[in-house]
Amino acid sequence: MRFLDNYPREVKVFLAASLINATGSALMWPLITMYVYGELGRSMQDAGLVILIQSLGGIAGQLLGGSLYHKVGVSRLIVGALAMNALVLFTLPAASSSWRLFIIAMGLVGLFNALSMPAIQAFIGFRFAERRAELFNIVYVANNIGVAAGTALSGFLADISYMLSFVLNGVSSAVFAVFFFVYLRQVGDTRGTVSAESKKAQPRAVSNWKLMGNTRIYLFMALGSLFLLIGNSIWNTGVSPFIISEGLPKKYYGFLWTLNGILIFAAQPLVALVKRWFAAGSAAQMTASAVFYLSGYIVILTMPSYAGMLFAMLLTTLGEMLIAPAMPAFISEHAAHGAPFYLGLTGGIGAVGRVLGPFFMGSLFDAGGLAPTAWLACGVAVLAVGFFVIHAYGSRRGALSESAEAVKSA
């Protein structure tokens, strides 16, 4: 990829390792609902319960990861979390013999996987501060190339063995842990690498409770993310069982996510135009993202067919491409030394949507099929648009206030 020529070798190695880890993760996560519903013979409500438990673990992991970043250190936090995640994944085949053990194991997968997320994002924001927004997007694209590859294989692996997918995910997580262990020993501890200006803006000694009081940075953005994630659960607990109930091959579901991964790479020029014409700032990009998500859910509601699913995936992928790099970029630019905490807090609040979404969607699907889940997705997407508009307005007011203070002090 020629666009990486301007980046140092360590960035390229980091991207390659991220791609491998993303490929391994994508072998497993699209199949959980199918495994519970199709292999274990449980209801969609039970499948939603498994994802709920996994998401609860994810919330705890996000909050802990953001809070422990400066206390534990980058290497211990990232490497330890990835290693524990790999260990749990390796034990998943044995745990699946018991429904209770399987639920507990999935909760631990959610915990340890999420524990590393805010730490990795903060590491990127601190180490590559000058080009962080650009790099967040490149890492996002690289990860989703891995998702495209993994999901393309996931449907085929499901026909062979679900457990093979789980074990290969564990292998990729272990490889990622080893990579970070070696990589961080070479580059050193970058957890406090912030500019002098940033240090003035956010002192090291500020407590987490005081950081939480600065709601302008995170609250409405996090609530918008929460509602988007409730709606996005329609893919796992609405579209997935719809494909099974229609008698379509399992690989058709994998093709949807393969399209998602291809678009994330191929549609970058289109998203760049959207940013240039309609959404220049990260706050505006979040609002535009929610509008694209809403459009996709409307398509699912009005075109309940596989062709409609493909079109809806195109629209929601554009929304994903806008919001995924925008949120960590906004926090990294505005939160300075407190960025790890805000990344974890925002991720934790947003992940509540992953808790509520599958359970509600699964219950609605059991009761009435795809249509009720699509109505719910549309409703929460409207709420997400509203919260992102409030966030954009608040961040704009905050920027104006800071400018006024700068003029007074000049």
58-108 pLDDT tens trace: 888 888 888 887 777 777 888 888 899 889 888 887 877 788 888 898 889
The candidate with the shortest Cα–Cα distance to 278, out of 290, 293, 288, is 288
Per-residue confidence band for 5, with pLDDT thresholds at 50, 70 and 90: low
* Class (C level, CATH) for 9-187: mainly alpha
- Say whether pLDDT at 138 is over 90: no
> What pLDDT band is residue 121 in, cutting at 50, 70 and 90?
confident
Would the pLDDT of 400 be above 60?
Answer: no
Is a pLDDT exceeding 70 seen at residue 195? Answer: no
State the amino acid at position 348 in one-letter form.
G
Q: What type of residue is 365?
A: F
- DSSP symbols for 57-113: HHHHHHHHHHHHHHHH-HHHHHHHHHHHHHHHHHHHHHHTTSHHHHHHHHHHHHHHH
- The model's confidence at residue 227, banded by pLDDT at 50, 70 and 90, is very high
- pLDDT over 90 (residue 377): yes
Q: What is the mean pLDDT of residues 194-199?
A: 37
pLDDT at 192 over 50: no
pLDDT at 379 over 70: yes
The one-letter amino acid at 34? M
**Three-state DSSP class for residue 250:** coil
Compare 12 and 104 and report the one with higher pLDDT.
104
Q: Does domain 210-409 have CATH number 3.40.718.10?
A: no
Q: Is 28 helix (H, G, I), strand (E, B) or coil?
A: coil
Tens-place pLDDT, residues 306-331: 899 999 999 999 999 999 888 888 88
Helix pair angle (282-302, 306-335), 10° resolution: 160
> Above pLDDT 90, what percent of the chain?
18
Instruction: Please tell me the pTM assigned to this model.
Output: 0.73
Question: Does 8 or 87 have the greater pLDDT score?
Answer: 87
At 198 the pLDDT is: 37
Residue that wins the pLDDT comparison between 4 and 238: 238
The tens digit of pLDDT for each residue in 261-279 reads 788 888 888 988 998 888 8
Does residue 280 have a pLDDT over 90? no
For 111-162, the DSSP string reads HHHHHTHHHHHHHHHHHTGGGHHHHHHHHHHHHHHHHHHHHHHHHHHHHH-H
Q: What is the pLDDT of residues 338-372, one digit of tens each?
A: 788 888 888 888 888 877 887 788 888 888 888 99
**pLDDT band at 410, cuts 50/70/90?**
very low
Mean of all residue pLDDT scores within the chain = 79
Numbered ranges of CATH 1.20.1250.20 in the chain: 9-187, 210-409
pLDDT exceeds cutoff 80 at 153: no
- How far apart (Å, rounded) are the C-alpha atoms in residues 26 and 100? 24
Of the ranges 122-131, 282-291, 354-363, which is most confident?
282-291
Residue 281 dihedral angles phi and psi, to the nearest 5°: -90, 165
Could you tell me what percent of the chain has a pLDDT over 70?
Answer: 83
Between 140 and 187, the more confident residue is 140
Q: What is the pLDDT of residue 190?
A: 52
Q: Which of 191-195, 257-261, 319-323 has the highest mean pLDDT?
A: 319-323
13-47 pLDDT, tens digit per residue, is: 777 777 777 776 666 666 777 778 777 777 777 77
Looking at residue 397, what is its pLDDT? 63
Q: Which residues contact 62 (CB under 8 A, 6 or more apart)?
A: 114, 115, 117, 118, 344, 345, 347, 348, 351
